[in-house]
Structures are given as structure tokens and as C-alpha cells.
Amino acid sequence: MAPFNVTGLADAGSVLLFVAIGFAFGYILESSGFGDSRKLTGQFYFTDLAVLKVMFTAVVVAMVGIVWASTAGLLNFDDLWVNHTYVIPGMVGGAIMGVGFVVGGYCPGTSLVSMATLKKDGAVFVLGALLGMFVFGESVEGIIPFMDQTDLGRMTVGDALGVSPGVVAALATALALALFVGADWVKRKLHGTGPEPAPRIGRFTLPAVGAGALSAVVVPLLFISPPSYLDKWEKMTDKHALISDRKVQIDPAELLETMNDDSLRVELLDLRPEPAFNRFHIQEAQRANLEGLAQARQRLTTLPLNTVVVLVDQEEKLSTEGFKLLTAMGVRNVYVLEGGVDHWLHVFEAKPMKPGDGPALGDRWEVSRPDLHHMPHREFEKKIKLATKAKRSGGCG
């Protein structure tokens, strides 16, 4: 969602906004001929390639827009809904849909447009689709293991291939252009007919101008690296007050209470160097560093919903940096231990532990997990508010 500090735009004027987006979608589909099943299926016989061209042009244009906007810092890609990858159910479902597409002549969106222009086959297709969904809804309980297999989560092509989004956009553009040229070639071979007539802009045809413009926009993306998480944090101005107003720095007593709360999971990440960690750490703390956290987005954004992530430093310097990083990465429920390990020791043992103080016992110190029930009462401001609403949306939910 963008710009970074504008949220709630989709909530406020949302009804009109979504109807308007749908309206434009329906208008473009109908104007491009997607309300006609003969035109839609024509692509499979190489008689009419318009649908293939519209679809892949749209995918590439939108992709290039998304990559540009997130590279320029106008859009936070991590906030966008990226359909989760389920390899086997996705591909089996796709193959089944391919059958439905050819036999029925439409896909769900296009059948709505066809129905809206009073085409009987479109309306009957919609009815059939509703029926198929009904059958699925009634039988899904039996195939849940199948549905949930090969779940790779939010996996982009770039993640999978180990390349930047700019490279993916360039590859997709090249693929689309090759597809268009190739499909037109097959069409000419099979039917002896050329591509659909195109308007001219000066000496060039519209497709040529479009391909040139797209290439000119895509090529620079190959050489620009996407913004770092800390660049993103700088743009998330609505979150900066969380640190300055001390909304996320939790008291040691609140951390201890949370560790003892069976309904919550605490992911305690200790950012101090190894010697300090070995000398003393809070029980169940895992050693981590900022570079490692930046690589662990997939795991940290898919932690169980009742997880509270608490960052620990000797004081607060690294943990505050860690908070910025994780927040920019889109990790939920991140907090910082107020005053770090020093404050924890001060509260529970009344003496700071300096290097050289006692043996390196890690979490075998008693103060590593003080007994909550034998503690003097301590007043503190409760700050942890669990945001449990998972982001689960997308055009298909």
C-alpha cells in the first residue's frame, strides 16, 4: 500500500473505490473483446491472439510499474498482496481451469462481462462456475492435505531464482515480447493472416512504440538495486513515533510476565556479541544479528500469530535498530526490552553485570528467568498489544 504513511485510504472511501476499480476492469475487458467466448478461445487455435496479448501486456506493464514504484520508494512491496505459492494444488487447479476455459469458453471475470452484455453462454457459464465452487466448498474438507501441500508461502520469482525484482521485470518483458512475436508467427503459418491492425504513431505502429517504451523503462531497472529496509523505515514516518514516544520499549517485568503467559509465544532475539551472550542471557533467548534478521524475513513474517518478538541489547542501541529493520520488513508484534540486559539485571538482581563479572554461565544464572511468584510487586505500563490479524487477502480469498 502506498504512499508509505497514507493508510486507511482503502478503508475510508472504500466502497466507491472498489466499485470504480471494478468498473474500469469490466470496461477494459469488454472493450478488448473479452465478453466474446469465440475471441477468448481463438487464442488456443491461433486465430485471434488478442486475449493473450492483452493479458501478458497487462501483467508486464503492472509488474514494471510495481518494481519502479518500489525501487523509487513510492511503494512498499512488502505491503502488497503476493499470492502465496502452493506448487501442486496451484498447478493442478490451473490445469483443470485450462479444461474449463476451452470447454466453457470463459474464465470467471470474463464471463461476468459477457453476462453483463446479455450473452446467454456467458450467463450460463457464471451459473456453472457458481455450481463448481459450491461443489468445491462442500467437498474441500476431504482434500485439505492435498490443498495444503507444497506451501512455499509468499515466494516471488525473484526469491526463487535468486535475482532482483528488476531482473524479473526484464525477463518477463522479454518473455512477453517473444510470446507475441512467436504467436503472430504461428498464426501466419497456420492461417496465413497477420496480426490485428494497429494504429500508427508517426512512422511507427503502436505495438512498436509500446515495446520500445517498455524496454526503455525496464533496462534501467537491471542496474538499480531495490531500497534497503532501513531506507524503507525512513519513509515509514507514521511508525517513527513508536520509538520516540516509547510505545514499544517494554519493562523487564512485562517481558517476564509475557514469558510466563501460556497463551503467548515469545521470540526473544538477543543482538549482543557472542561473549556477552555466553556470559549471561535471558532464558530462551536466541542469539541474532541485524544482517541475519534481514535474511530471515520469510520465517519472521510467518511466525504463529500469538508470537511476540522481543529484541534485546546490552542497552537499547542495537535493539532499536533491530526494531526499525523488522518493522520495515513487515514483522508483526515487535518490541524492545527497555534498557536491555543491564536494566533487566538491575530490576531483578539490583546489580549490573559487567564483563569479567563471574563465570560465563549463559542462562544458568538464576536471574536468567526469575521466579515470577517470588518477586516484589513492580508497577509498569503494559505496552504489548497483540496484533493478531494476519494479512490474508488478495483477489481470490
Partner 1 sequence: MTTAPAPGKAPARYWNPYLGGALLGLLLFLSFFVTGNGLGASGALNRVVVAAEGVVAQEHVDTTPYLAEMGGADRNPLDHWMVLEILGILLGGLVSGLVHKRVRPETFKGPRVSAATRLAFALIGGAVMGYGARLARGCTSGQGLSGGSAMSEGSWLFLLAMFASAYVVAIFARRLWR
CB of 327 to partner 1, least distance (A): 17
What is the x/- site pattern for partner 1, positions 246-265, by CB under 8 A? --------------------
CB of 167 to partner 1, least distance (A): 11
Among the listed ranges 58-66, 216-224, 311-319, 353-361, the one in contact with partner 1 (CB under 8 A) is: 58-66
Distance CA 329, CA 300 (A): 9
Residue whose CB is less far from partner 1, 174 or 375: 174
**CA-CA distances (angstroms) from residue 176 to 58, 140, 161, 215, 299?**
10, 35, 18, 11, 33
Give the torsion sign (CA, 38, 31, 66, 219).
positive
Contact 101, 132 (CB under 8 A): no
Considering only 4, 35, 344, 347, the residue that binds partner 1 (CB under 8 A) is 35
Contact 372, 341 (CB under 8 A): no
Distance CA 81, CA 88 (A): 20
Considering only 44, 212, 292, 378, the residue that binds partner 1 (CB under 8 A) is 44
Considering only 159, 315, 342, 363, the residue that binds partner 1 (CB under 8 A) is 159
Among the listed ranges 164-172, 268-276, 301-309, 356-364, the one in contact with partner 1 (CB under 8 A) is: 164-172
Residue whose CB is less far from partner 1, 101 or 380: 101
Name the nearest CA neighbour of 168 among 88, 55, 66: 66
Residue whose CB is less far from partner 1, 134 or 185: 134
Number of residues that bind partner 1 (CB under 8 A): 137
Omega within 30 of 0 (cis) for the link into 275 = no
Residue whose CB is less far from partner 1, 106 or 344: 106
Residue whose CB is less far from partner 1, 79 or 363: 79
Considering only 162, 262, 322, 395, the residue that binds partner 1 (CB under 8 A) is 395
Residue whose CB is less far from partner 1, 75 or 334: 75
Residues 106-125 that bind partner 1 (CB under 8 A): 106-122, 124-125
What is the x/- site pattern for partner 1, positions 173-212, by CB under 8 A? -----------------------xxxx------xx--x--
What is the x/- site pattern for partner 1, positions 78-107, by CB under 8 A? -xxxxxxxxx-xxxxxxxxxxxxxxxxxxx
Q: What is the DSSP string of 121-151?
A: HHHHHHHHHHHHHHHHHHHGGGGHHHHTTTE
Residues 1-30 that bind partner 1 (CB under 8 A): 1-2, 9-10, 14-15, 17-30
224 binds partner 1 (CB under 8 A): no
Give the torsion sign (CA, 28, 32, 33, 39).
negative
**CA-CA distances (angstroms) from residue 272 to 135, 195, 299?**
55, 64, 21
CB of 309 to partner 1, least distance (A): 23
CB of 74 to partner 1, least distance (A): 8
Contacts of 68 (CB under 8 A, 6+ apart): 217, 221
Among the listed ranges 32-40, 241-249, 336-344, 376-384, the one in contact with partner 1 (CB under 8 A) is: 32-40
Q: Dihedral of the CA atoms 25, 31, 33, 36 (nearest 10)?
A: 80
Q: What is the DSSP string of 293-307?
A: HHH-HHHHTTS-TTE
Residue whose CB is less far from partner 1, 95 or 350: 95
Q: Dihedral of the CA atoms 185, 186, 187, 189 (nearest 10)?
A: 90
73 binds partner 1 (CB under 8 A): no
